[in-house]
Copies of this chain bind each other. A is one copy, B any other.
Amino acid sequence: MTGYDIGPWSLRWRGLSVPDLRRTESTFALSNGHIGMRGTLDEGEPRGLPGTYLNGFYEEHALPYGEAGYGYPEAGQTVVNVTDGKVIRLLVEDEPLDMRYGRALEHERELDFRTGTLRRRTVWESPTGRKVTVTSERLVSFTQRAVAAIHYVVEPEDDLQLVLQSDLLANEPIEERSGDPRVAAALDAPLVAEFRWAEGKRAVLAHRTRHSGLRLAAGMDHELEAGNGLRSHIHAEDDLVRFTAAADVPAGNALRLTKYLGYGWSTQRSVPALRAQVEAALAGARQTGWQGLLAEQKAFLDDFWEVADIEVDGDEELQQAMRFALFHILQAGARGETRAIPGKGLTGPGYDGHAFWDSEMFVLPVLTYTVPDAARDALRWRHSTVDKARDRAQVLGQHGAAFPWRSINGAECSAYWPAGTAAFHVSGGIAHAVAQYHAATGDEEFDRECGTELLVETARLWMSLGHHDKHGGFRIDGVTGPDEYSAIVDNNVYTNLIAQKNLREAAEACERNPATASALEVHPDERTAWLEAAMRMRVPFDALLGVHQQAEGFTAHAEWDFAGTDPGQYPLLLSKPYFDLYRKQVIKQADLVLAMHVRGDAFTAAEKAANFAYYEARTVRDSSLSAGTQSVLAAEVGALQLAYDYLAEAAFTDLHDLHDNVHNGLHMASLAGAWIGVVAGFGGMRDHSGLTFAPRLPPGLDRLAFRMSFQGIRFSVAITRGEATYRIVAGGPLRTAHHGEPVVVEPGAPVTLPIPEPPTPPEVHQPAHREPARRVPG
């Protein structure tokens, strides 16, 4: 039992389980990509790990090295838990509502994917026997990005004196979560008070960080409805504003509080400017009102589900998980607006709040094909950091732009370069996402203003990273691919193929945008050199085994002793040294298999089958990034049940807490991997040149359907036993292909086509103890 009720459009948890609070605070987190709030109880305690995050708001700390080296990043960045506005405490005749005391006669919380709110309903009997019903609903607005709001209602069973305390609380003490004393020190009361103001029901607090030079303002405003004798008071300190309201509420009546929250932050703006910004946000929110905010939120989500919904007929739990995944990806990216999409979104402090390559390679495909403006904004963030990436390339002795392995503000924060800086495929992934976004939207303005520069500067990086060898092949040596159980390798297939595409896309972008190309000083012979390098790109193949090598020499390495590895020793990085992992044929996560997805055009079907079987037997999936991609290739080679197992693994990573770390936040890339498993796996969607499909229904399901957007056309693909139906939802017509046959789908004229038999899959097995759980739909 996972603890959640299964339902198609919401995630609900009944009863209180204190040990589960940490993970449910993550799954119940609300965010719009700009502001994030973990799903902490209104009253603040009991709690797991409290957290309110502002995208791009971090503290800096020194990165320590036992042995330093040239070019090592000196400063780390860590997301900061900012001023908490969620807290609303209730005192019932002076007894604080605390779920650990008295009795919770009823208690449930529900995250609603259609309203975009987190609801809570608690019937509580105080230790002295007083009963109240508390209902609350919380949202972080998709439409007013600086705003969150909470509607809080208390209904007493008897005439009771009720007191509400509504706080803005800065420098909330948190259990230390870093083993490094310097990081811990940086995060211990990270906010320095700069300004406080409170009057009537309104207040603003402003703080700055000590080292990173960021400033934030948080404001709150309130609306109250109550019975007689309402008394209220507001009090401000440096790190606390408390609005207190007391009322005598007769049985059958209610005390209703609406709390509006506004946040503003900046590296540049002054305290007065930030205060003005926050007050404007609050004024706007009050003008819209609680009902108005609810209505806007619903409308926003209606539109989202129209273009993004996935229907799974025959597996209710997976149905729920798919919508949960889509909802959280939307939350992570909807209003990021030239900020990063962190690996955990804004749902927790995991990975220090950093964004990684999986933002472009996993999360952005989902957004590109559902909410393309959000994909564009995320890529605009990358573009806004291109100067930092150029500086980094220079430090590394390279041309062009080298984007960071992990970062909040665009500067490299990785303290272990073999698995960080050396993973230059990060830059190729950005180029891939740029090209994918351009192909899916035809957005010429972005192409001209941002896309071309990103493609050109990453192409330049590859040209300086690689060289033509004595046989005329173009090699990229000494880099690290996606598989983190290998590092500093030559000619990693994934990297080389993503670089190949990067070089070609850069050349095409320059042809499309000659003025931009000229501003970037791209000369015709530079374009020629890109195309020559792309043409001669080395892709190592082991002729003896008939499979590609993940990197040069990989298949000559020793096999890992899977039989002698205890199930408890996984993930291997916690029980085995990198040294031993790197030099053996053990794979943390899809690497060559990912190449066969995103550069499927570079492999024959027979190669895909042989490679998939070979690498499947050596992949341990110690990363949550892996299962979605394995699902895609399993489906392609005809291993449909296995594909379904992997799809389920990706989809349930967070709901089943498969890695026992959901308390630090959700795995955005894994959630995205579930979408990829459906759309690219069972839908067979590829976008190598044009958009194509090869749908297949997994065993046991009655129907699987998904929706997406391509060049402004919204359409759905529904897969049933033996056939698939393509239907235009808006716009059109759509030109695509079904299992290799061109199809044109006109508006109002769905096309239903038969599904050919899948190929006979190769014989496939996984390392001992690492088989995915068998998922039987139903």
| Residues of B with C-beta under 8 A to A490 | 553, 556-557, 583
Query: How many residues does chain A have at the interface if contact means C-beta atoms less than 8 Å apart?
Result: 53
Q: Tell me if A606 is interfacial: C-beta within 8 Å of chain B.
A: no
Q: Mark A63-106, 1 if CB is under 8 A from B, else 0.
A: 11111111100001000000000000000000000000000000
Q: Which of these, B479, B544, B574, B583, contacts A478 with CB under 8 Å?
A: B583
When chains A and B are docked, how far (Å) is the Cα of A478 from the Cα of B418? 13
Q: A577 to B69, Cβ gap below 8 A?
A: yes
Q: B70 to A575, Cβ gap below 8 A?
A: yes
Q: A64 to B180, Cβ gap below 8 A?
A: yes
Q: Tell me if A558 is interfacial: C-beta within 8 Å of chain B.
A: yes
Q: B579 to A396, Cβ gap below 8 A?
A: yes
When chains A and B are docked, how far (Å) is the Cα of A638 from the Cα of B620? 54
Q: A396-B579, A556-B469, A579-B421 are in contact. Are A66 and B69 (CB under 8 A)?
A: no
| Residues of B with C-beta under 8 A to A558 | 466-467, 475, 477
Q: Tell me if A13 is interfacial: C-beta within 8 Å of chain B.
A: no
Q: A490-B553, A553-B553 are in contact. Are A415 and B579 (CB under 8 A)?
A: no
Q: Tell me if A573 is interfacial: C-beta within 8 Å of chain B.
A: yes
Could you list 9 further interchain pairs (A-B, Cβ under 8 angstroms) beyond the known A396-B577, A398-B580, A467-B558?
A67-B414, A67-B420, A69-B573, A70-B573, A417-B577, A417-B578, A477-B584, A490-B556, A552-B553
| Those 3 A-B pairs whose CB atoms lie nearest each other, nearest first | A66-B415, A478-B583, A64-B64
| Residues of B with C-beta under 8 A to A240 | none
When chains A and B are docked, how far (Å) is the Cα of A67 from the Cα of B416? 6
Q: Mark A463-487, 1 if CB is under 8 A from B, else 0.
A: 0001101100001011100000001
Interface of A is mostly: loop
When chains A and B are docked, how far (Å) is the Cα of A578 from the Cα of B70? 7
Scan residues 479-499 of chain A and give those whose CB is less than 8 A from a CB of chain B: 479, 487-488, 490
From residue A493, how far is it (CB to closest CB) to chain B in Å? 15
Q: Mark A443-480, 1 if CB is under 8 A from B, else 0.
A: 00000000000000000000000110110000101110
Point out residues on A near B: beta carbons under 8 Å.
Answer: 63-71, 76, 179-180, 395-398, 414-422, 466-467, 469-470, 475, 477-479, 487-488, 490, 544, 552-553, 556-558, 573-580, 582-584
Q: A418-B418, A553-B552, A582-B488 are in contact. Are A577 and B475 (CB under 8 A)?
A: no
Q: B71 to A557, Cβ gap below 8 A?
A: no
From residue A549, how far is it (CB to closest CB) to chain B in Å? 12
When chains A and B are docked, how far (Å) is the Cα of A573 from the Cα of B67? 12
| Residues of B with C-beta under 8 A to A418 | 418, 488
Chain B: CB-nearest residue to A69: B578
Q: A415 to B67, Cβ gap below 8 A?
A: yes
Q: Which of these, B68, B179, B470, contacts A556 with CB under 8 Å?
A: B470
Q: A417-B579, A577-B417, A578-B417 are in contact. Are A65 and B64 (CB under 8 A)?
A: yes
Q: B478 to A579, Cβ gap below 8 A?
A: yes
